[in-house]
Each structure stands twice: as C-alpha cells, then as structure tokens.
Structure 1
Amino acid sequence: MSDESDQPADPEPDRNISGGTTGGGTAATFDPATADTRAERVVDRLGERYWQKTYGGQDAFTCLVRTILSQNTSDKASQPAHDALIDRYGHSSSRADLAAALAHAEQSQLAETISSAGLYNQKSAMLIDAAEWVCDEFGSADEFDRFVTDETPDTVRETLLDVRGVGPKTADCVLLFAGGRGGVFPVDTHVHRIYRRMGIAPPEADHEEVRTVLEAEVPAAKCGFGHTATIQFGREFCTARKPACLEDPEACPMADICEQVGVYPETGEVVDPADAPT
C-alpha cells in the first residue's frame, strides 16, 4: 500500500466542466474531428493532451488579489507573494477580514510583503484600492463574491474594468475562476502570441481582439479549459523565442494547422506576428 505522501496533491479529474459543477458549466467533449472551427480544433487537441479541470468556486476577492499579483510576472514569483500576503493579512478564515485588512493596510508594509511579485509599489497601491472599493461598494467580500457569481458577465466585467489595476485579463480571470462563467477566454501573453502565430487571429490583433475571435469560435464549455491549456502549450511547445517547430516541424502537435506567422525555420528567426512581413 502506498503512503499518502505518494499521492498527487492535485489528482487529475476524469472530465472537463469549464463552468464548475456549481458555476453553470457543462461537461465538454474534445474531438478534433468534429470541430467547427480551427480554434476549436486547437482546443480539442489540447483537451486530448492535457488533463482537464473544473472552474469556478474560488472566492472572488481572493481571486482578484491573486490575479493582480500575477500581472507581469510568473507564477513562480507571484505565488510566494500571495502566500506572504495571506500569512500577514489573512489572519482568519473570514474573506471579509482580508478585504478589510488590505483596505487599511500601510502601503509600504504591503509592498514589502509582496516584493517577490515585482512592481510591488504599484501592485500594493492597486490592492489597497481594490480592497477599499470592495468594502465601500459591496460592504464585504462575501457580497462581492455574490455579485461576481450572480450578475451577468458583461455587468461584472464592465464594473471590474472601472477599478484601478484591473484590465481585461484580470476581469476575465475573476469571471472564470471565481464566477465559473462559461464562454470566458482570458487572453494573457501566451494566448495572445499563440493564436496570432497560428493565424487564427489577425497578426496585429490586440488582446481584446484575440479574445473576441476565440470567444466567437470556441464553444462556451471549452473556453476555460482552452485558456489554461493554451498557457501550458505555450510553456512547453510554442514559446516566445524558441517554438518547437523552429528546429523540428514534427515536434509541435499543432504543426499541421498552424500558419507559423513570424516563425522562420529556414533562418531561425522568430518575430512577433505583428512584425511579420505580409
């Protein structure tokens, strides 16, 4: 019999439910042969390659904090900052206490606490502003959580975008990971690069234009998985400087459906798709 310590901390579920069991989502089936669009075929192939997970159910304010900390940095850098913040300010199980604690935090102390995340002076000010906004507008983090879960996605998104430090990707991550909303495909640097490089979105498209394309061409139940799996694909295969196809076209599982915009195996050159000659 194996020891409990040998068991994975995050066991792989056997199916994908992008909205979560309580977030309105439905189980998604990944079959590239039946995909209606090239974008859906990409996500279906990712669904066959990567493990599948559920979305929704995270506390909205904690998710907002975590996403702000992750801006312009890696998970490796932002996770210690998140842990340190929770250790210092999340001194009870009450989510409202964290919002209230950050609303009254001394900025220099908060900046020191989250220093591993980078841009800590800017992010500490954003976190304090966000916490004050939650307390003033909703009264508590619990009420903010209900707003994110119950209001229409467009209303939640527009409201969040009025908060300092909250851009489209942050708002969409809160909708996806806290609200469990189907049809939300957050666009980070990996997603922005990959779908333009593949030729699915125009090479000069900004983050919002890429999001519009993906949310129109990928079924709602697959959008959440598409976001997280594309990030994993970007880290393993379609990196910014050395995509797998640069040295071996067969090394990439998407080679046959990718237009390689801005990637030139003949010369070894890689440029942003927007800079690729037309």
Structure 2
Amino acid sequence: MSEEPDPEPAVNISGGPDGGGAAAEFDPAAADTRAEAVVDRLGELYWTKTYGGRDGFECLVRTILSQNTSDVASQPAHDALIERYGGADADLADALADAERSVLAETISSAGLYNRKSKTLIEVAEWVVAEFGSAAAFDAFARDGDPEEVRETLLSVRGVGPKTADCVLLFAGGRAGVFPVDTHVHRIYRRMGVAPADADHEGVREVLEADVPAAKCGFGHTATIQFGREYCTARKPACLDDPEACPLADLCEQVGVYPETGEVVDPAAAPEAD
C-alpha cells in the first residue's frame, strides 16, 4: 500500500500569525541566487509561515523526538509526553529531569529509538534545570538571547546537534536567517546542484544561509520538507516518471538521479561528484 503524502497543515504549526518572523515576497524571476529562486518557487507552491512563539524547551523536546523518524511517528510520542509530564502547573524540565527512564521510554515508544531518546531527554532536562532553573527560564534564553550564544550553548549539550539547535532558534526564537538542515533539505539542495554534492549538513546550511535572504530561510526549511515529501523523495523523485511532474525541474541538475535508467543514488556517490 502506497503512503499518502503528508497534507499541508491546516494550522500554522510554527507559531501562528502572531508568532513572529518576517513576511517575504516570493518572485523567482527576481531572485539573486539559484537557492533563492528555489525557495521563491516553493513560495508559489506552499503556505507562508511565520516563526517563533513556541516554548523553547518544548521545541527542544519535540525535535529530539523527531530525530531519525517521521512526524507521523514522533507526533504521538510528543502528545503522550506532554499529557504525562506537561500538566498545567508542571515545569516540563523539572518533570522530565525527575522522570523514571523506563516510564518515559514507554511513553515515547512510538518515536522509535525510545531508550536512547528517553536518556537524552532526561539528561537535557537535567541540564536545563541545572543551568537555567526551569523550562520557563530556558524559554526566555532561547527567545531573547544572542543567536550565536544560544546555538553554541545548545551544541555543547550531548544529544543536541545543529538541526536541533537551529529548530529551537527558528521555531522558539523566530530568528531570521536560520535554515535548519534535516535529511530532506540535505538531500534536495545537493540533488539540485545548489550545494556541493559531497557537502555535509553544516556545509549545506552555510550555502543556504548565505544565498537565501534571511526573511525566507525559515519558510525555505519548512517548504523544502513538504516538497521532499510530495515530489523529491529519497527513492523515487517525481522526475523519474515524468520530467514535467516536478515544479522545480528547470532549477534542478538531477545530481544522482537518472530517469533513463530509473537509478537514484546519493548525490555524493554520483559520477559528477568525482
């Protein structure tokens, strides 16, 4: 049975119209770089989102749960965690720092890798309590702190990588110019030839944050994920069956995609990358 494409969210999950961020105009013809032209084309396809307004610690928890799994699997885990540990009068960091690991692991089991993730969540919660005193104090740091300091601080914590840190900056802080790189973003911009075929996640991020205007970076992240789910999938991008099926075909170099044979490889393994 084939998977249904993830639908466009009916609700702005990035903070709502009052959540911060900056409005952006999308005009591929006026783009200064190919990366901007790609994001502008996505702006013609998808919803315009604003960013910020989410609780920083909950965003951190949500992103950890999403590591190496899909939203379909991680969302129920997040909902179950909040139901068990996020009561109206509870501080989520305190609650997770004191959680029994086996109980937490069972609570988030739908997210996969639940033993490792439960350990990470408890350690991160203990760090937040020790360094900030509460989830609320961490939320204020993520929202109002210097972006570079916030990023460096988060990256110093075991279990928190660049994508997780950048998602906190974007979704909690509403910071312009932040383009988190997940597996979709990493694959697509190398496949298109926008970033070097052998670039790691940080290399792709550096290219995108340099070539995409700050006001469009957050939208570029979320819209690229949607595009990756609907069109430019890892194993069978739309262009394999029909060159006209992809709305970004004229901007793509198809690095590692071979419609004539139906073969798809990681861009780093493509002969063009040698």
TM over 0.5: yes
Q: Partners in 2 of 1:234 and 1:226 — Cα distance?
A: 12
Aligned to 1:233: 227
Give secondary structure in 1 for the equivalent of 2:218.
helix
Q: 26, 40, 61: which one pairs with 1:44? A: 40
CA pair 185-232 structure 1, distance change in 2 beyond 3 A: same
SS class of match (1:149):
helix
Distance (Å, rounded) in 2 between the aligned partners of 1:9 and 1:33: 28
Structure 2 partner of 1:140: 134
SS of residue paired to 1:28: coil
Equivalent position of 2:10 in the other structure: 10
Give the superposition deviation at 1:67.
0.5
Q: CA deviation at 1:10?
A: 3.4
| Residues 1:74 and 2:70 are matched in the alignment | yes
Q: 1:158 to 1:119 in 2, by over 3 A?
A: same
- Which structure 1 segments of 5+ residues have no match? 1-7
Report the residue type matching 1:37 in the other structure: T
Residue ranges of structure 2 left out of the alignment (5+ in a row): 1-7
Q: Which amino acid aligns with 2:38?
A: V
Shift of 1:228: 0.3
Question: When the two structures are aligned, how many residues end up with a matched partner?
Answer: 265
Map of 1:60 onto structure 2: 56
Q: Could you state the TM-score of these two structures normalised by the residue count of structure 2?
A: 0.93
Q: Distance in 1 between matches of 2:72 and 2:155?
A: 26
Q: Deviations over 1:104-149 (max 9, x none)?
A: 1111111111111000010000000111111110011111111111
Cα RMSD, aligned residues only: 1.9
> Contact 1:64/1:170 (CA < 8 Å) preserved in 2?
yes
- The CA deviation at 1:22 is 5.8
For 1:12 and 1:127, how far apart are their aligned partners in 2?
A: 26
CA contact (8 A) 1:20 1:180 kept: no
Which residue type is aligned with residue 29 of structure 2? Answer: A
Q: Secondary structure at the match of 2:175?
A: coil
Residue 5 (structure 2) aligns with? none
Contact 1:18 1:222 survives alignment (8 Å): no
Deviation of 1:257 after TM superposition, in Å, equals: 1.1
Identity percentage of aligned residues: 77
* 1-structure distance, mates of 2:140, 2:186: 30
Quickly say closer, same or farther: Cα 1:9–1:188, change in 2 above 3 A: closer
Q: Which residue of 2 aligns with 1:118?
A: 112
Residues 1:130 and 2:100 are matched in the alignment = no
The yes-or-no answer on 1:152 pairing with 2:146 is: yes
Q: Tell me if 1:84 matches 2:95.
A: no
After superposition, the Cα gap between the structure-2 partners of 1:224 and 1:113, relative to the gap in structure 1 and judged at 3 Å, is same
Structure 2 counterpart of 1:33: 29
Residue in 1 aligned with 2:100? 106
Paired position in structure 2 for 1:197? 191
- CA separation in 1, counterparts of 2:271 and 2:51? 39
**Secondary structure of 1:216's aligned partner:** helix
**1:30–1:44 CA contact under 8 A, matched in 2:** yes
